[in-house]
Each structure stands twice: as structure tokens, then as C-alpha cells.
Structure 1
Amino acid sequence: MKTIIKACAFAALAATPFVSSVAAAADYPNRPVKFVVPWPPGDLEDILTRIIAEEMAKETGKPATVVNKPGGAGIVGASDVSRARPDGLTIGSFVADILTTHLLSGNAPYKQDTFEPVGIFLDYPFVLATKADSAYNNIDELAEYSQQHKVSLGHFGYQALPTAITFKVAEQEGIKFSSNAAFDSNDCSTLANGDADVINTTTQQILACLKSGDVKLLASLTRDRLSIAPDVATLNEQTGISQTTWNGLFVKKGTPEHIKNRIAEIAEKALSTDRIKELSATTGAGIYWISGKLTEDVVANDYEASKALLEYMKE
């Protein structure tokens, strides 16, 4: 009888961590949750993060808001998350370079191990775009034209990964940009106002002028051709440069595993709806969800790959 009692007691003790974890997960969040997007509202990461926040509020019954903190090519918002408690109540929606090129260039006030990934949910449909009446239609034609004419470039900042990729393309393919400038928003007005002749941006920011025919694409910085522009070759197809960029959710290091798992569960559910499928089809974005070890591997691999891009970045 004593043996049976001891066995039961041991089983109860062994189950305690699991029960505690389940209970803790059920208690999360116990206060409002803040998602920090380090860019102005309106782009894909902002839209998708808001959809995840809506699902968070629906699933938990606690308020979940998105706060846009643009500035410093994402560093301002990332720094805000770096000062948060490791409790999952402040979640960063970060583009790849916040965890790669910003750190490698020494411009980030946080460290490589400041954040822990919850998951990656977006392959950005970054493109090189220009006005529809421009004399060039692809990378080769842009390179040839730029040798005899002034061509200005608009981008998201010298430390932004897509910017570094663009400069790498320019050097490799012989594109001569007469000038370049960083903008928080590279949209239809950037081209229409003459602020830049070519912009490195996402399709979400220029959908209106793409649909109207006022703007055309020279290349997509994506793994596959865009569903909204299947005739436009990728940068990889035109130049052999294959690196892309992504966006994911990150929390402060030390955040309990059950909290990260709960956030991931909610995010994956939010991204599995018909609404998301439609958004992917209309923007060309690759929208998905990966978490766990695979996410850690993606971040680690891109960190190493980005070392080769530092020479194309400026202070």
C-alpha cells in the first residue's frame, strides 16, 4: 500500500510542471499586450501584425494594440522592445536587418542575444520600381541608361538590408546612381514628386500606382516571382543575387517558453484565414508561419550571410 501511495505521489509531482505550465499559459496575458512595429503604419508588416493583435485580443479577452515607432531604420522601435520586461507583454514585429545588419554594423544599442524569436510570418515583396514612362524596364537596361543619365535612388536607410542588396546589385551590374536618399516611406508620391527616379520599396506601398499603370517594376527582391507581376523577373533571375528579407515576432530574452508558444499559437491561427490568403494573392507577399528551431536557424543563417553586405552600407 505504501508503495502504491509513493508511486501516486511521484506521479503527481512529475505532472506538476506540466500542470503549472498549462495554468501559466492560460493566465497569459494578464495585462494588455503591445506589439511594436518600427515603421509607419500601412505596410505589410503593420497590416499583418494588426491582424495578429486582433486575434490575440479575441483569443485572450485582453486588449492587444499595435504601436508604430518609426525611426533609425527600425532601431527606435527595436530599442523600445529591448527595454521591455521578458513577460511577452511587449512583442516586436521585426524585419530581418534588425537582427542582422544593424548588429553587424554596430549601430544597434542592443545585443545579438537581446531578443528571442517567436516566429517568422512574412517574406517581403520588395521591388525596384520606377515611373512607367522611364526608359528602362529591367536591371540591364537601368545599368546601361545610368551610364549616360542621372538616376537617383530612394530607399529605407543605409543600414536596411534591401538597401544593401540594392547597392550590391548596382556595383555588380554597373548601375550608376547619381544620388540616393533614405525615406521612411517609399510610395507613389516619392516617384511622382521626383524625389527619386528608382525606389527600393514593397509592393504594398505602391499598389495604387501599379494598378493605375503609373509605375512599373524592374525586379522583385523575392524568392519567387510576384503573383501580381508574374512577368517581372526576380533579382536572382537577373543577377544571381538571391538574398531576400522577412519579418517576424520577437520578445525579450528570458521570456518563458510557454508564453512564446502561446503567442506562436495565436499568430499561426491568425495567419491561416481566407483574409490572409487574399492579402497574399493581391500583394504578392509570401505569408506563412514558422517557429521553434527553424526560426532560430533562419536568423542565424541570415546573420552570417549579411556579413558580406557590410561593405555596401554607410554610416
Structure 2
Amino acid sequence: MKKQFKTLLAAAAVVAAPLLISPAASAADYPSRPVKFVVPWPPGDLEDLLTRLIAEEMTNETGKPATVVNKPGGGGIIGAADVANTPPNGLTIGSFVVDIVSTYVAAGNAPYDKDTFEPVGIFLDYPFVIATKSDAPYNNLKELAEYSKTHDVSLGHFGYQALPTALTFKAAMQEGIKFKSDAPFDSIDCSTLATGDADIINTTTQTILACLKSGEVKVIASITNERIGLAPDVPTLAEQTGIKQTLWNGLFVKKGTPAEIKARIAEVAKAALEGPRAAEIAKTTGAGIYWTDGAAAEQRVADDFEASKELLKFMK
């Protein structure tokens, strides 16, 4: 009986051996299986395009398939929850906008907490803009404020829990802009203004690129660190109001993912984002594309989490 028991223990040890491999050892072979990048939005916008470049680079560099899975819903929470429920092995990577790890958590609207994820790196400043039809009789927020005192102005946005919406409401309160009405939209593009569904829209340049280039729509403020190339004469939100928070996107993994794995993901992402295709996206859309990792990325996440608490009062 003792001999049989020892045999069973030996067999169990062989089966369990792969589970006892140290994180450092598994990191050396990363990725051992296919990698999934989760984009919690529909295909087509900037975070999706750039994440696909990173996934392609991962496939080419490692020889293991890397795919992008779009999981929209809940303002990004459904996709984020998918990443939150995976092991910390770097095989599922979230491509998250700042809201997902800041305002949603601070508001108590997320099924995870601020320590669920760790940033691999931040790579995109969205060219979020406040825009209107080109024939509108105002060209900046101060002029819009004056106009709104005697005219009805409606705002179209991506939802009351979205960070750009909160920043717009904060700017409106600060500058004295009176919105007669506002409404959330699943999609905001050229037709939102053309049909009169809204007089002012809060969206990315990617969604209104055609009408910006045709001259049908103009930007009156950009929610970016620098003025965008598509409207270089238009001051940023920070220049016009002093509100400095912007919209960014980054790669995140489950907390506890080995540092060596995060470093490998960062190496691949940086290579993809320094390539000519990313440069062309930046040129045509005005997006700020770069790579920030390590302590700098962690500090930016922490700073924006604290800043998001103050913005909650502007979220209905």
C-alpha cells in the first residue's frame, strides 16, 4: 500500500510540475500560447487601429498568433471585466481608455477596483475635440458662451459617464456656456451635426475626418496636450480654460503579471508604434502616438485616478 501511495504521489508530481514553473521561467518563453488583445469598443477607431498594429507586431516577432477581440458594451466595462477575469500571465491584454481605470472605478460603476490592472504602457492621446458646423458664428469657447446666452445650443456626447463629457460640462460651467439640451449617442459623426441632432459635438477627429477635410465642420477646442495638426490654429481646452486633463489609451494586464512579460509586451508595442503605419495614422488624424511605460505610466494612471474624483460631480 505504501509503495502504491508513493507511486501515486510521484505521478501527481509529474502532472503538477508545469503548474510550479516560476514566473521568471515562464516569462522567458513568453508567449507560450496565442495572445488576445481586448478592445472594449467597436472596430474602427484609433485605439482599435493601433492595437491591431501591436498585435500584428506580436505575431511577427514571436511566431505566436496575436489577435484583437472587440468586446463593446457598458461604456467599455464589459471588455475590461473580461481582462479582469483572466490569470496574470500576459496572454490577455486590455487596450483601455483612461475612463476604465479612473472615473468608472472612482464612481463605483466597475466590477473591479483600481488595483486590478497594471499598465504596460500608454500609447495614444485621443484627438478628442469639441466641434460644430463650419458656418456657426463662434470659433472658440468664449464666443460659444456669448452665443449661448441668446440662442439655444444642444450638445451631443458619448454618455454621462464618459470623461470627455465630464470635461466638456466642466468647461461649460467654468466659461458660462449654456446648453439648452444634451443627449448621449452611441456614434457621433458628421451626420450628427448635418441632421441637426446636435449643434455642438464631443468626439474624436477619426469619426468626423471626412467633414473636417471637406470644411463642413470646424473644431473650436481640442481636448489634447498639444494643438492638433488638423486644426493648428485652434487652442486646446487647457489653453482656453486651464483644464489640463486629456484622453489617453494604454495597454493593461492583470496585476501580478511578471515584470519580464510586461517588458516583452512593451518592447513589441513600442516597435509597432514607431513604425511608418502608426506615423501615417498620426499624420492623418491628429492623434498623439507615443510610448510611455514603467514608473511614468503608473504615475499618470494614479494622477488621473485622483483627478477623476473631482470630475464625478459633472457626471449625471
> With structure 1 as the length reference, what TM-score do the two structures score?
0.90
Name the aligned partner's letter for residue 70 of structure 2.
N
Question: What residue is the counterpart of 1:108 in the other structure?
Answer: 110
Gaps of 5+ in 1: 1-19
Question: What residue is the counterpart of 1:6 in the other structure?
Answer: none
Measured in 2, the distance between the counterparts of 1:98 and 1:122 equals 15
Deviation at 1:21, TM superposition (A): 7.2
Measured in 2, the distance between the counterparts of 1:133 and 1:270 equals 40
Deviation at 1:181, TM superposition (A): 1.7
Question: What residue is the counterpart of 1:168 in the other structure?
Answer: 170
Measured in 1, the distance between the counterparts of 2:111 and 2:180 equals 32
Return 183-192 or 238-247, whichever deviates more: 183-192
Name the aligned partner's letter for residue 223 of structure 2.
L
Deviation at 1:65, TM superposition (A): 1.2
Tell whether the 8 Å contact from 1:39 to 1:184 is kept in structure 2 after alignment: no
Given candidates 152, 155, 158, the residue that maps to 1:153 is 155
Return 64-73 or 244-253, whichever deviates more: 64-73
Deviation at 1:195, TM superposition (A): 2.2
Tell whether the 8 Å contact from 1:191 to 1:197 is kept in structure 2 after alignment: yes
Query: How far does the alpha carbon of each residue in 1:188-210 deviate from its partner, in whole angstroms, 9 at most, with x for none?
Result: 12222322211111111111110
Measured in 1, the distance between the counterparts of 2:264 and 2:201 equals 38
Given candidates 200, 203, 218, the residue that maps to 1:201 is 203
Question: What residue is the counterpart of 1:249 in the other structure?
Answer: 251
Name the aligned partner's letter for residue 54 of structure 2.
I
Deviation at 1:59, TM superposition (A): 0.9
Give secondary structure in 1 for the equivalent of 2:256. coil
Name the aligned partner's letter for residue 197 of structure 1.
D
Name the aligned partner's letter for residue 222 of structure 2.
S
Tell whether the 8 Å contact from 1:127 to 1:200 is kept in structure 2 after alignment: yes
Question: What residue is the counterpart of 1:8 in the other structure?
Answer: none
Deviation at 1:274, TM superposition (A): 1.9
Name the aligned partner's letter for residue 62 of structure 1.
K
Query: How far does the alpha carbon of each residue in 1:96-147 deviate from its partner, in whole angstroms, 9 at most, with x for none?
Result: 1111111111111111111111000011111001111222221112112222
> With structure 2 as the length reference, what TM-score do the two structures score?
0.89
Return 119-128 or 179-188, whichever deviates more: 179-188
Name the aligned partner's letter for residue 255 of structure 1.
T
Deviation at 1:26, TM superposition (A): 4.3
Measured in 1, the distance between the counterparts of 2:263 and 2:133 equals 45
Is 2:94 the partner of 1:92?
Answer: yes
Report 1:110-129 matches (<5 A). Answer: 110-129=112-131
Give secondary structure in 1 for the equivalent of 2:220. strand
Name the aligned partner's letter for residue 56 of structure 2.
E
Give secondary structure in 1 for the equivalent of 2:36. strand
Measured in 2, the distance between the counterparts of 1:83 and 1:192 equals 42
Aligned length: 295
Given candidates 205, 208, 226, the residue that maps to 1:224 is 226
Give secondary structure in 2 for the equivalent of 1:167. helix
Report 1:32-111 matches (<5 A). Answer: 32-111=34-113
Name the aligned partner's letter for residue 280 of structure 1.
A
Query: How far does the alpha carbon of each residue in 1:211-243 deviate from its partner, in whole angstroms, 9 at most, with x for none?
Result: 011111011011111112111111111112111
Name the aligned partner's letter for residue 35 of structure 1.
F
Measured in 1, the distance between the counterparts of 2:74 and 2:137 equals 33
Measured in 1, the distance between the counterparts of 2:252 and 2:308 equals 19
Give secondary structure in 2 for the equivalent of 1:144. helix
Measured in 1, the distance between the counterparts of 2:133 and 2:127 equals 18
Deviation at 1:58, TM superposition (A): 0.8
Name the aligned partner's letter for residue 70 of structure 1.
P
Return 164-173 or 275-284, whichever deviates more: 275-284
Tell whether the 8 Å contact from 2:37 to 2:69 is kept in structure 1 after alignment: yes
Tell whether the 8 Å contact from 2:119 to 2:297 is kept in structure 1 after alignment: yes
Tell whether the 8 Å contact from 2:28 to 2:260 is kept in structure 1 after alignment: no
RMSD of aligned alpha carbons = 1.5
Deviation at 1:250, TM superposition (A): 0.3
- Identity among equivalent positions (%) equals 72
Given candidates 256, 272, 279, the residue that maps to 2:274 is 272
